[in-house]
Structure 1
Amino acid sequence: MIRMKSSRSFMFLICSIMVLIFLYFSSCKLHLRSPVQKSKADLHRLLSAGRVVATEYDKQGFLTKLDRNLPLELQYKYGNLSKGECKPGYAEAKMTSIYPKFSKPAPMFLDPNFKRLSKISGYPPPFGVRTQEKIIDYILQATKRYSLDSELDSISCKKCIIIGNGGILFNKSLGSQIDQYDVVVRLNEAPVVGFEKDVGSKTTMRITYPEGAIQRPERYEKSSLFVLSAFKPMDFRWLRHMVFNEKPRRMEGFWKSVARAVPRDPEDMRILNPYFIQEAAFKFIGLPHNSGLMGRGNIPTLGTVAITMALHNCDEVAVAGFGYDMNTPYAPLHYYERLRMSAIRESWTHNISKEKEFLRKLVKGGVIQDLTHGI
C-alpha cells in the first residue's frame, strides 16, 4: 500500500514537471513567433494601404509601375524651384529613377577624340563608326567645331524640345511655346516657314540623313546646325561632299534622291554620336541585335534617336508632334502636307509598336513632356 502510494506520488511529480516544461517552451515559442507574426501583419497592412510597393522591372530594365510623381529625394531637390524654372539634371534624375541602368555621359556630337568611345568603336554604321574612322577624321578636320555654339554651351540648365513631323501638330498653336525652349531640334525636311503658328520659328539644329535632308537650299534656316545621323557607310561619303561643297559623282545606294548641296559652312555641320542609335535600339526599345548590323525591324526612328540624345545632354526634355494614330486613317500624316494616315505602311527597318511602348514609358514616368499628347 505504501509502495503504491509512493509510485502515485512519483508519477504525479513527473507529470507536473512535464506540464511545466511544456508551458515554458510553449510560452518561449509564442514569444519568439509573435514579432514575426506582427511584422507580417504590419507589412500586409502597409501593402493594403499602398505604402510599400514591390520593385519590379521589365525585361529592358524599366520599372513596370510608372507614375509622374517625384521620388522623395527629387521632391527635396526641386521642390523650392519656381514654376517654369529650369530643373538642373531633371531628365537624368527621372530617367535613372525608372531605369537604374541609365548612364548619362555620352557626347552629343563626334569630336576628334571619337575613337576613345569604346561603345561605338566595335560597331559599323548605324550603331557605330567601325570602318569609317578615316573619313570621319577627314570631315572633323574641316568642321572644326564639335558642340553647340558658345552661348548655348554656357547655359547651366538647358530645356530642349524635339519637334516631330506628325499631323497632330497642325492647328495646335504651340509655336510661341516651342520658341521658348533653349534648344529646338527639328528632323529631316520638315518645313518651318508658313507653319510658325504651330511649330515655332526657332531651330537650333536639324538632324537628318541624306534621303531626309532638305533638297532645295532656299528652304534651309539661315542659322542652325546641320547634323548628320548616319545609317550607312555611304552617308559619311555624302556628308564629305556636303562639307567640301563637292558635287557627288555617284548617287547609287540611296533609296531615294538626296540633296546635292547644303547651304552651311563646315563649322555649322556636325555628326551625331551613333551611340544614341545603338542605345535606343538595343537597350531602351529591345530591337533585334542582328550581330550589330542593320536588319529587319532593328533601327529606331530618327525622332526616338533625337530624344535619346536629349536625355543625355539636356536638363529638361519635351516633345511635340509625336505619335501616329492608326485608328484615324483620314487624319493628316504630317503637319505640312495632305498625305493621310492611311498612307503609312509597315516599315522594314522600324518597329513602330515597340518604339511607342518605350516612348510611353518616358511620358508615363515623367521623364519627358509631350505637348501634343500623341504618344
Structure 2
Amino acid sequence: MKPTHKLIFILCMVLVLASIIYSCKKLHFHIWVQKTQHDAEETAVVLTQPKGAEVNRITVYDEQGFLLELDTKLPPELAYKYGNLSDEVCKPGYAAAKMASIYHKFRKVMPMFLDQNFKRLEKVNNYLPPFGFKTQEKVIEYILSATKHYRLRQELESLSCKRCIIVGNGGILFNKSLGSRIDGYDVVVRLNEAPVSGYSKDVGTKTTMRITYPEGAIQNTENYEKDSLFVFSAFKPLDFKWLRQMVFKEKVKGTEGFWKSVARRVPRDASEIRILNPYFIQEAAFQFIGLPFNNGLMGKGNIPTLGTVAITMALHNCDEVAVAGFGYNLNMPNAPLHYYEGVKMSAIKESWTHNIPKEKEFLRKLVKAKVITDLTNGI
C-alpha cells in the first residue's frame, strides 16, 4: 500500500473511532439525564410522604406497615370467601385474613399459651420479660410440669370457628346492657380483677379466661368465677416466682419487687392455669403500636395495656374478634376510668409504662378496617 493511501486509511479509522466515541458519550449523557430526572421525580415524591416510608411503598403503607388508606371493604379474595355470609354465621379465619390484608407482615401461627416446646419460640427466647422468657426457662419448665395443659378447654378447641370477645374494664361499659350479647360469644376474655358479680347486666356472666399478672389478680378468692382459666401474663422475672407459688400452693414470699399488694392464693387447680405467650406483648408493642424498643427491655412508655395484648392474642387464635369496654377519652378527665370503681379518667395520664394515644391509634385501625368489632364504640 502506498504511503498516501496508508495515511488516508489511518485517518478514516481515526474519524470512525472518534465518531463512535462521540456517539457513545452522547447516548450515555442522554441516559444519565433521564436517570437524573427520574431520581429527582422520585425524591420529590418521597418528600411528600411520611418519614421512613419506602420509595416503592410510599403511597400504600405507614411507618408500622399498615395500609394508609383503610376502609371497610373486603379485598376481592376475601369478598369471594366471606361476602355472602350473614353476620350470624361465624367466618372461619376471618380476623387473621382481614388483619393480613391491612398489615402484610402478619402471620397467624402463634400459640396462645406456652407449652413444653416453648424454648423453640425464636421470637421470644432471647428477650427478658415482658417481651420474652429469657432467664426464666427453668421455673417455666417446673410450672408447666404441674399444669400439664397448654390449650383452651377441649369443647372450645374442637370448634371449627371461634368467636372471641375481649371485655375491657372501661367505664364506657356502664349502663350499656351488653351482658347477654357478651355471653353469646364462644370465648369471653376478662382482664385482671374486673368483677362480674353485680354488673352482669352490662358485662355478662360468662368467663372463659381471665388474663392477669400478680398485681392485677383478684385477691378475694370468693370473686373468682367457676370454670374459668387463670391466664398469667408476666411483666418482670419476679412474676414467675409468684406464679410458681400459686401453682404449688406455697406461701408467698419476697414481695418487695411488686408495685402494689398481690394475691396470696389463686383458687385454681394447676390444670386450670396457663402462661400467656409473651410474643403477643412483643408484637403489640414493637410491631403494631411502634413503642420504643429500648434494647428489648421494659422502659418508659413501651408496654402495651393488657387489653391490647389480649386483642393481639385473639387475632392469632380466634376466627372473629370483638371488644367491649375499650377506649380512654382523655378529654373527659372526670369520667369513670373503670365500670366498677370511682377512679377518674385523669388517673391514666399518670401512667409511666403505657402510651395511650399511640395505642388508641392502632386500635382505631383495627376498627376502621373491620378487623375487630367494637360493641361499645369507644375506640
TM over 0.5, yes or no? yes
For 2:104, the aligned partner's letter is: P
- The counterpart of 2:316, out of the listed 294, 312, 316, is 312
1:229 aligns with 2:227: no
1:124 to 2:128 alignment: yes
* Whole-Å separation in 1 of the counterparts to 2:362 and 2:257: 31
1:254 paired residue among 248, 255, 258: 258
User: Could you tell me which amino acid in structure 2 is paired with residue 177 of structure 1?
Assistant: R
Given the alignment of the two structures, is residue 281 of structure 1 paired with residue 285 of structure 2, yes or no?
yes
* Residue type at the aligned position of 1:251: T
Match of 2:331 in 1: 327
Residue equivalent to 1:214: 218
- State whether structure 2 residue 85 is matched by structure 1 residue 85: no
CA distance, structure 2, for counterparts of residue 274 and residue 89 of structure 1: 22
SS in 2 for 1:142: helix
Structure 2 Cα separation of the partners of residues 55 and 370 of structure 1? 28
Q: Deviations along 1:276-327, whole A, 9 cap, x unmatched? A: 0000011000111111111111111100000000000000000000001112
Amino acid at match of 1:373: N
State the alpha-carbon separation in 2 of the partners of residues 216 and 151 from structure 1.
29
Given residue 148 of structure 2, which amino acid in structure 1 is its aligned partner?
Answer: K
Letter in 1 for 2:303: I
Matched, 1:355 2:359: yes
Percent of matched pairs sharing the same residue: 76
Q: Deviations over 1:112-143 (max 9, x none)?
A: 00001111111111000110000000000000
What displacement does 1:84 show? 1.0
Structure 1 stretch displaced more, 321-330 or 257-266: 321-330
Q: State the aligned residue count.
A: 323
CA distance in 2, matches of 1:372, 1:83: 18
Task: Give yes or no for the alignment of 1:368 onto 2:372.
Answer: yes
What residue ranges of structure 1 are gaps of 5+ in the alignment?
1-53
Alignment map for 1:30-45 (pairs within 5 Å): none
Alpha-carbon distance, 1:346 to partner = 3.0
Inter-partner Cα distance in structure 1 for 2:104 and 2:129: 27
* Mapped partners of 1:76, 1:184: distance in 2: 29
Specify the SS of the correspondent of 1:176. Answer: helix
Separation of aligned partners in 1, 2:334 and 2:121: 45
- Deviant stretches of 4+, over 3 Å: none
Deviation at 1:55, TM superposition (A): 5.0
> In the alignment, residue 278 of structure 1 is paired with which amino acid?
Q
1:301 aligns with 2:310: no
- The answer to which of 70-79 and 172-181 deviates more is 70-79
Shift of 1:338: 1.9
Distance 1:99 1:249 in 2: 44
Q: Does 1:339 align with 2:343?
A: yes
- 2:162 aligned with 1:154: no
For the residues of structure 2 that align with 1:176 and 1:58, how far apart are their CA atoms? Answer: 38
Give the counterpart letter for 1:139 in structure 2: I
Moved more, 116-125 or 73-82: 73-82
Aligned equivalent of 1:181: 185
What SS does the corresponding residue of 1:160 show, helix, strand or coil? strand
Matches of 1:249 and 1:73 in 2, distance apart?
Answer: 55
CA distance in 2, matches of 1:341, 1:294: 24
In the alignment, what sits opposite 1:69?
73
The 2-side partners of 1:300 and 1:325 are apart by 17
Aligned residue number for residue 18 of structure 1: none
Match of 2:204 in 1: 200
Task: Assess, with a 3 A threshold, how the Cα gap between structure 1 residues 325 and 274 changes in structure 2: closer, same or farther.
Answer: same
Aligned mates of 1:136, 1:349 — CA distance in 2: 25
Q: CA deviation at 1:329?
A: 2.1
Q: Distance in 1 between matches of 2:306 and 2:167?
A: 11
Instruction: Determine whether 1:101 maps to 2:105.
Output: yes
Residues 51-74 of structure 1: per-residue CA shift (max 9 Å, x gap): xxx951001000011011111211
TM-score by length of 1: 0.85
2: CA distance, partners of 1:329 / 1:277: 28
In structure 2, give the amino acid aligned to 1:272. Answer: L
* Counterpart Cα distance in 2 of 1:349 and 1:129: 19
Secondary structure at 1:324 match in 2: coil
Point out where structure 2 has 5 or more consecutive residues left out of the alignment. Answer: 1-57
Give the TM-score normalised by structure 2: 0.84
Q: SS at 1:119's partner residue? A: coil
Task: Report the counterpart of residue 171 of structure 1 in structure 2.
Answer: 175
Specify which of 118, 139, 142 is matched with residue 138 of structure 1: 142
1:339 Cα offset (Å): 2.0
